[in-house]
């Protein structure tokens, strides 16, 4: 009778060794290799304290995996595997949180929706829902992509999203040793045509601000237009994040950007784990702030009925203005100046358009490399996102932003390409 598992050691470098577990698979009649590290990773909190670099740690992980039934996932049916993979409390989400790279609730929900509404119905229709995981091929994934392209009205981007919701679980199974390789690594991905985002003209911008009555909505749109901040970054701001310091004969205003307010999840640390030192509240992204915008933000403090530190306070003490309310006021103001909802959709106008507008307008005055730094674009050309701005760069960015809303109407901004723009 075959032993359920065998512990072996392999060289992991010139001077180091790693342990792996070989589990007997009766269906495939061969041993399936799993690294001790991947087993402990998949076991999560249950394996806390186990050392994958020791034989005892590898043996304990193997026994726990058998008891927990984790190995069954290597022979799981494709439909069930995909349906379980994107659970908010699933092993993949847990591993991401433990690594300091948590997946947002929206990301997980979108992936689950892609599987539930598109991948699973097709698998059932084609009789492949109960296909063993190890029999999945690149062709299966490409057939799904082509089916969605032929039979649905989904955009190429949305179809690629469904593809990703299938490919990532297969990639994870390969990483954990459940599959010898990712069978869909190079599966067909549809080209996504670049779309033009037609920005507001300077005249439309001036008319827009005249329609904003609530000082909070005027301030949050002004902030986005003069800094390029994303909506979540605006909502996450606190009064303590608005700072100033003397630089020679002038006062430099800036934001100590640290948080992002995510709808349905609350406040999140804005900085990635790789750039964040634990228990160091002074780590932040520096965003130059025009003096007029800084004064506008400060003026909101007196109107806050809760007397808390939210800049964009709402009717709830515990949260800032809601994303949906901000976007609705934005759209209604555009309607009031003669841009109906249909045209807004055609021109792809939304609150995020301020980020593209700021980028486009600043490029007329600021060097692209400096602009990428303050926009925090994730591009290969950006070698260090968090190196400090010089005093000269601070003054240049601030002075150019001061006059953005006074740009002459006869020089409208050119449409921005979303492919080359900001996320």
- 37-85 pLDDT, tens digit per residue, is 878 877 877 788 888 888 998 899 888 887 776 664 445 789 989 988 9
341, 350 Cβ separation under 8 angstroms: no
pTM of the predicted structure, to 2 decimals: 0.65
User: Is 341 found in the same domain as 218?
Assistant: yes
Of 194, 119, 206, 199, nearest to 161 by C-alpha is: 119
Separation of alpha carbons 180 and 196, rounded Å:
42
Mean pLDDT for all residues in the chain: 83
User: Is 211 found in the same domain as 189?
Assistant: no
Domain count, the chain: 3
Of 166, 165, 141, 145, nearest to 155 by C-alpha is: 145
Indicate whether 118 belongs to any domain.
Answer: yes
Residue 341 belongs to domain with CATH number: 1.10.443.10
User: Is 377 found in the same domain as 233?
Assistant: yes
How many CB atoms lie under 10 A from the CB of residue 224? 24
Q: What is the pLDDT of residue 386?
A: 36
Residue partners of 32: CB distance under 8 A and separation at least 6: 22, 23, 24, 25, 71, 74, 177, 178
User: Is 204 found in the same domain as 350?
Assistant: yes
Pairing of strands 17-25, 5-11: antiparallel
Say if residue 342's pLDDT is above 70: yes
Residue 161 belongs to domain with CATH number: 1.10.150.130
Indicate whether 284 belongs to any domain.
Answer: yes
Residue partners of 353: CB distance under 8 A and separation at least 6: 197, 199, 200
User: Is 130 found in the same domain as 37?
Assistant: no
Indicate whether 140 belongs to any domain.
Answer: yes
User: Is 100 found in the same domain as 48?
Assistant: no
Separation of alpha carbons 30 and 224, rounded Å:
59
DSSP state letter for 118: I
**Of 102 and 210, which is predicted with more confidence?**
210
> Which of 175, 193, 211 delimits the end of a domain?
193
User: Is 8 found in the same domain as 44?
Assistant: yes
Indicate whether 243 belongs to any domain.
Answer: yes
pLDDT per residue over 122-181, tens digit each? Answer: 999 999 998 988 889 999 999 999 999 999 999 999 999 999 999 999 998 888 777 778
Separation of alpha carbons 208 and 222, rounded Å:
11
> Which of 193, 219, 241 delimits the end of a domain?
193
Indicate whether 205 belongs to any domain.
Answer: yes
Indicate whether 40 belongs to any domain.
Answer: yes
User: Is 393 found in the same domain as 308?
Assistant: yes
User: Is 393 found in the same domain as 339?
Assistant: yes
User: Is 214 found in the same domain as 158?
Assistant: no
Query: How large is the average pLDDT for residues 88-102?
Result: 84
Indicate whether 423 belongs to any domain.
Answer: no
Indicate whether 351 belongs to any domain.
Answer: yes
User: Is 136 found in the same domain as 219?
Assistant: no
- Give the structural domain span for 320: 197-417
> Which of 170, 193, 216 delimits the end of a domain?
193
334, 199 Cβ separation under 8 angstroms: no
Say if residue 252's pLDDT is above 70: yes
Say if residue 218's pLDDT is above 50: yes
User: Is 188 found in the same domain as 96?
Assistant: yes
DSSP state letter for 104: P
């Amino acid at each position: 009778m075959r032993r359920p598992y065998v512990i072996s050691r392999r060289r992991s470098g010139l001077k180091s060794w790693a342990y792996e577990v070989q589990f007997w698979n009766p269906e495939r009649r061969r041993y399936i290799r799993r690294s001790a590290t991947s087993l402990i990773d998949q076991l999560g909190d249950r394996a806390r304290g186990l050392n994958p670099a020791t034989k005892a740690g590898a043996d304990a992980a193997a026994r726990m995996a058998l008891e927990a039934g984790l190995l069954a996932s290597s022979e799981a049916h494709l439909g069930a595997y995909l349906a379980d993979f994107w659970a908010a409390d699933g092993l993949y989400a847990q591993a991401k949180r433990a690594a300091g790279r948590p997946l947002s609730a929206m990301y997980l929900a979108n992936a689950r929706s892609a599987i539930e509404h598109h991948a699973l119905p097709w698998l059932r229709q084609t009789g492949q829902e109960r296909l063993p995981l190890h029999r999945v091929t690149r062709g299966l994934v490409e057939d799904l992509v082509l089916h969605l392209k032929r039979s649905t009205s989904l955009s190429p981007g949305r179809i690629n999203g469904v593809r990703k919701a299938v490919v990532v679980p297969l990639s994870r199974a390969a990483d954990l040793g459940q599959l010898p390789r990712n069978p869909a690594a190079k599966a067909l991905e549809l080209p996504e045509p670049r779309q033009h985002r037609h920005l507001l003209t300077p005249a439309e911008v001036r008319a827009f601000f005249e329609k904003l009555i609530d000082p909070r909505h005027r301030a949050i749109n002004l902030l986005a237009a003069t800094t390029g901040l994303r909506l979540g970054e605006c909502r996450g701001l606190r009064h303590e994040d608005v700072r100033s310091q003397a630089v020679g004969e002038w006062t430099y205003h800036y934001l100590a950007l640290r948080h992002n307010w995510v709808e349905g999840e609350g406040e999140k640390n804005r900085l990635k784990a790789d750039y964040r030192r634990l228990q160091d509240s002074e780590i932040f992204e520096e965003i130059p702030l025009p003096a007029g915008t800084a004064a506008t933000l400060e003026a909101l403090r007196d109107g806050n009925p809760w007397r808390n530190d939210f800049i964009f306070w709402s009717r709830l003490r515990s949260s800032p203005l809601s994303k949906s309310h901000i976007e609705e006021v934005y759209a209604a103001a555009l309607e009031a100046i003669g841009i109906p909802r249909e045209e807004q959709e055609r021109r792809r106008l939304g609150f995020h358009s301020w980020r593209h507008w700021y980028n486009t307008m600043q490029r007329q005055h600021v060097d692209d490399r400096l602009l990428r730094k303050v926009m925090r674009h994730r591009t290969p050309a950006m070698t260090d996102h968090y190196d400090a701005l010089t005093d000269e760069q601070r003054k240049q960015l601030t002075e150019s932003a001061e006059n953005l809303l006074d740009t002459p109407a006869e020089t409208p901004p050119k449409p921005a390409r979303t492919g080359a723009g900001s996320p």
